[in-house]
Amino acid sequence: MASYNRVILLGNVTRDPELRYIPSGMAVTEIGLAVNDRRKNSAGEWIEETTFVDVTMWGRTAEVACEYLTKGAPLFLEGRLKLDTWESNDGQKRSKLRVVCDRMQLLGGRGGGGGGGGGGSRSPARQAQGSYRQDEPPESYGSPPSETPDNDIPF
């Protein structure tokens, strides 16, 4: 049977990205994305539900994300699901589903300024409103995600 692994998300960044480099020199960053869903329950009342998604970015995409994204920034991204599995210090098997970002679209301006307007020159924030393709992550990537306490809310 054929399979297809694609994820498209639109949400808000939950923490400032931090850029790291693996030994081969490739850039990597991990961000959190809050995706809101508004729907009616069985009683007909509107309820809002937020889903928090961990996202990994590689290469130039990671560098652009660290340069232009901050906590609360809106972000549109496309990627694929990846299941990380590892064994914790106490010997229990753990797993976590994350998104590996292939492309992202920055929304909004740097510093929260709205869009619009013409003008001959483009500011760095306006230049950032473009689509960025993900470099291929190295095959050796498979380290377990950093564990954070369940009560540590990212915003």
The amino acid that residue 118 corresponds to is: G
Share of the chain above pLDDT 90, in %: 59
Ordered by start, the domain boundaries in the chain are 7-133
Between 76 and 122, residue with greater pLDDT = 76
Q: What is the pairing mode between strands 46-58 and 93-106?
A: parallel
- Domain 7-133 sits in CATH at 2.40.50.140
Over the chain, what is the mean pLDDT?
Answer: 79
Q: What's the pLDDT band for 131 if we cut at 50, 70, 90?
A: low
For residue 110, give the nearest of 79, 64, 77, 54 by alpha carbon: 64
Tens of pLDDT along 92-129? 999 999 999 999 988 876 554 444 333 333 334 434 44
